Amino acid sequence: MMKKILIIEDEDLVRQMLQSLLQHAGYESYFINNVKLDEIKSISKNYDVILCDFMMPDISGYDIYNALDTEDRKKVIISTGGYIDYEKEEFFKNHGVHILYKPFILKELLRLINEMCSEKLCKES
């Protein structure tokens, strides 16, 4: 069974590029661009890795991360094309959350996903 990646991204072009890359690399990828905090807990359970944009119009990756259960927080990769204040960046680093700064190297994203899955953070197939 292919590993499932959830993309939470508000920029259509970035989301389309990520979906194409991940599908080409053998992952199932799904996206949401208008997530509600009260829904994210139940949604996140269905995915092996969550690639989440940090800055979106109505919500932040920090908010999404904090809405997740402890186990699901281990699945998060934060991506950002903008500024993350020092406190939030340190928070993510101290909690083992990977941060990718856009434009990031696609091989680096795939390496992180593969690493997360090989550490048994991904559900068993």
Boundaries of every domain in the chain: 4-118
Residue 40's nearest CA partner among 17, 67, 14 is 67
At 7 the pLDDT is: 96
At 38 the pLDDT is: 86
* Higher per-residue pLDDT: 82 or 108: 108
The answer, yes or no, to whether residue 112 has pLDDT greater than 50, is yes
The percentage of residues in the chain with a pLDDT greater than 90, rounded to a whole number, is: 72
CATH code for residues 4-118:
3.40.50.2300
Residue 85's nearest CA partner among 116, 118, 61, 120 is 61
Specify the amino acid at residue 108.
E
d(CA 5, CA 49): 5
DSSP 36-52: -HHHHHHHHTT-SEEEE
Cβ burial 54-82 (10 Å sphere, 16+ → b, else e)? bebeebbbbebbebbeeebbbbbbbbbee
Average pLDDT (26-52) is 90
The answer, yes or no, to whether residue 79 has pLDDT greater than 90, is yes
Q: List the end-to-end C-alpha distance of the chain, in Å, as a whole number.
A: 5
* Higher per-residue pLDDT: 41 or 49: 49
